[in-house]
Every structure is written in structure tokens, then in C-alpha cells.
Amino acid sequence: MPLCDYSCGSADHRLSRRAFLGAAGASAVLGRDVFAGPATGELSRAQKRVLVIFLAGGVSQLETWDPKPGTETGGPFAAIPTSVPGTHICELLPLTAKRMHRLALVRSLNSTSDDHGIGEKIMLTGRKPEAGIEYPHIGAVAAKLLGTADQVMPGHIAIFPRGSGSGKQDATFLGAKYASVPVADGRPPADLLRPAGLSEETDRQREELRRKLTDKFAKSRRSAATEAYAESFTQAERVFRRADVFDIAKESLKTAERYGRHDFGRHLLLARRLLESGVSYVKVSHSNYDTHHENFDFHIEQLGEFDRPFAALLDDLSDRGMLDSTLVVVMSEMGRTPKINDRYGRDHWSKAWSVALGGCGIHGGAVVGKTNATGTAVVDREVSAGHLFHTYLQAVGLNSTKNFYPNDRPVPIADPKAEPIAEILV
């Protein structure tokens, strides 16, 4: 397996403070944010966390959780036994296979869209896009419902590979406070820290002036946009106060080696540190799996990079006593076609694919749903992204059937047409 050193360290890929603030601000939408309803009741819960590992581009279910060796769609890889008797996964995940007792598999997902953007939105909101309303992503929902009033760190952090990703409108009516703080390449914004030439006192005075002006402006022209702008500074200040959390050099060399000396390994290690520091929701994107061409070579490379740090993360969370309170989800925006095209590729496929999840509230070793012999259709227990969304929330002890009340209008937290997947919940 070739080692992939993706870190060039060039300044081109650093996220500037301006981009950071802009991304955070862009996460808001116009409209009143009313935090009434279920949230207040949920705030007192013991801290639970959610980690989503997003395999961007659409990972192949046949090369991961639902292999079909020896069939016309199976490809060249074998299925290997796991720590759960009777459950096999693809040979590209040998270390994950040894930890399968910590994970549940849902092999019967029909997410209904073969489009990258729509598929991602469906998977992260648990709903098909609807006219007239934008639903918040699971990260924003988790940040709002799992966060605590005295939380120092932002509740919602998204770690992207360098050169990709940005802040998205992922909090919608929940407000900018719950929008993702984007962390490109797992590093805090390069110029987040106070410049050396600026004294602490001068900086404080500068900040005080900014607050006064912002408050004055807000009294006459308050809007979600102005709140988002103000919130972006608050978010930046929070990150600034705990900049040490981003320094994975504080981890032992042995730990760093276990996660792997590549970007994704660093990012997962950072995710563990963030979760440990009190962040309610972390999303780590691993790029890229959009393998229309030479699917098998590329899955060797990408999953070779995924397997080791993912196994290390599961071990770490378990060893630190965090796995029982941390829900871990491995998802994509879609799966890939069972049919292998003539360029050895697999194309977009949402009709029958798989998601893995484990940790908090999840019955490790469970397998739900089934596809047919060639993986072209679900033959048992079809579920939607809505079912999964309910499941995520229920797994961390939240009641997914309650409502948010933006503009005093009830909006179900999760799709009322779906329900949790009870078979994988503890």
C-alpha cells in the first residue's frame, strides 16, 4: 500500500481568519431564531457527543460493509470474517473487521438521490429537500441539543482536507451559534492568534469597540445576518481560547503513529481531542471516493488510509471511556453502483447501500437489512436517511419526535414519516 503524504504545508491551503469568519457568518439564514421547545429540557443531560466520518464522493458499499465476492458485481476483493461471527466485510478493512463488535451495520439504505449535493443534504438532514424550508444538519441539531450552557468550545466543528470544504448553511433556522466551524486541514485558522505586535489590552479595547458598534447596529437593524456576524466573533474567540486543543503535537509519538502520519490520521486524532474537550459534534471528511474510473485501485488507496486511524479511534474512545457517550457514524452522500463500468469504475448509487455506526446507544455487532445477491436491491428492512436521523438522536438520548419552533412554527426535529431503527439501539 503506498504511503500517501498529502501534507505539502504550503501557505496556499491555510484558512485565513477572514475566510474563517466569513464561513461561520455564511452559516446563518434570515429569520427569527426561537430556542423554545425541547432544547431546554435536553440541556441538562450528561454530555453525549457525535462524530460523523464522511467519506466524501460516495464510498462503495461493496468494497466496505456489504461485499459480494464471486458475483458479477463483486469486484476482485474477498470478504473477510470479523469479530462478529457470521458478519463479513471487505478485505480492505482488516483492522476495522477486528472491531466489528463495536459497530452496527445498516445494509439496506435507500437514500433516493444519486446527486452529490442533494445526497449529502439528505444524509445530513435526514430529509429530502423541500421547497420553502431548509432543515438543519445533524451537526447543528446535535450542537443545540447536546451542548451545555457553559460550553467553552464551539458545539459543531467540521474538519476538511486542505483545499476542500467550507462553511455551509448547515444550522439554518437554529442560528449561527450552531453552525459548523470549519477547520481546514485540521488546523485552526492560521492568523487566529493575536498578532505579536498587538498588546492584550489594545486587543481588549478593540474588541470592546466592536461589540459596542455591533450592539448599537443590532438595536435598530437586528437580523439573523447581524447575529451571525456577531456570533462568528464569539465562535472565533472560543476557538482562540482553546487553541491548544488543535495542537496534536501534544499527543505522544506512539499515538500519532497509531493514527497514521497522513492528513486523515491527523484529522481523526484531532477529532478525538475536540470531542474530549467538550465539542458536541465533529464531522471529519475523508476525500475522495467518487470512483467512476478504476474504483478498485482507488478504494485500495483511500480505504487503506481510512482503516488504521479508524480502528485506532475506536480503540482510543473505548480506552478513554468515551465510546459509551460518543456516537460514531461512517457515512457518505451515496453508495456506488453494483455494476462495474468498462473503466473498472462504479458510478453513483443510492438505492441500496450501507452505513456503519457504533458507540453511544448502539448495539455493537448488529446487522440490519439485506441486499440481494448482487447488491442491486434491498430485499429486507429498507430504511431511509430519515430512519437514520431518528436513530442518531435516539442513540444519544434525545427524543427525535419533538419539534423545533422557528418563528413559533413547529418543525419536527426529524422526519415524522420515519422512525428510529430499533434493532440497533441499545
Partner 1 sequence: MPPSSPPIDPTATRVRAEFKHNSPLIGCRFDPSGRFLFATAQDNTIQRFDLLTGAKVSLLGHQSWVRGLAFLPLRASAVAEVAAAEMFRVASPAVVGTGPAVGSAPRPHPIKMISADYSGRLMWWSAAATIPTPIRTVQSHAGWARAVAVSPDGKLVASCGNDQDVKLWRAMDGSQVRVLEGHTSHVYNVAFHPDGTHLASADLKGVVKDWDLTTGACVRELDAKILHKYDPSFMADIGGARGIAFAPDGRLACCGITNVSNAFAGVGNPAVVVFDWKSGKATSLKPKDAFQGTAWGVDFHPAGYVIAAGGGSGGRIWFWKGEEPTSIHTVTVPANARDLALHPAGDQLAVAGGNGSAIVYALQPTGVK
Give the footprint of partner 1 on this chain (CB under 8 A).
1-4, 6, 57, 69-70, 72, 75-78, 161, 163, 263, 287-288, 290-294, 297-298, 300-302, 340, 342-343, 345
Q: Cβ 296 to partner 1, closest distance in Å?
A: 8
**Measured torsion, CA atoms of residues 366, 159, 313, 145, in degrees rounded to the nearest 10:** -60
d(CA 68, CA 78): 8
Q: Cβ 293 to partner 1, closest distance in Å?
A: 3
- When the beta carbons of 1 and 43 are compared against partner 1, the nearer one is 1
- When the beta carbons of 17 and 292 are compared against partner 1, the nearer one is 292
* CA nearest neighbour of 165 among 288, 1, 298: 288
d(CA 426, CA 60): 28
Three-state DSSP state, 336: strand
- When the beta carbons of 128 and 292 are compared against partner 1, the nearer one is 292
* CA nearest neighbour of 141 among 408, 403, 333: 403
Q: Cβ 289 to partner 1, closest distance in Å?
A: 9
- Cβ–Cβ < 8 Å for 149, 138: no
Q: Cβ 14 to partner 1, closest distance in Å?
A: 15
For the beta carbon of residue 334, count every other beta carbon within 10 angstroms: 30
Q: Cβ 220 to partner 1, closest distance in Å?
A: 45
d(CA 3, CA 101): 28
- When the beta carbons of 2 and 195 are compared against partner 1, the nearer one is 2
Q: Cβ 69 to partner 1, closest distance in Å?
A: 8
Burial category of 411 from C-beta neighbours within 10 Å (exposed 0-12, middle 13-18, buried 19 and up): middle
- When the beta carbons of 14 and 381 are compared against partner 1, the nearer one is 14
Quote the cell numbers at residue 250.
Answer: 501534544
- When the beta carbons of 262 and 363 are compared against partner 1, the nearer one is 262
- When the beta carbons of 233 and 344 are compared against partner 1, the nearer one is 344
Residue tagged 461485499 (cell numbers): 67
- When the beta carbons of 98 and 101 are compared against partner 1, the nearer one is 98
Quote the cell numbers at residue 83.
Answer: 469479530
Q: Cβ 387 to partner 1, closest distance in Å?
A: 30
List 367's β-bridge partners, or say none: 105
Helices first, then strands: H and E counts in the chain: 11, 16
Q: Cβ 139 to partner 1, closest distance in Å?
A: 22
* CA nearest neighbour of 68 among 413, 76, 191: 76
Instruction: Say how far residue 305 (Cα) sits from the centre of its chain.
Output: 18
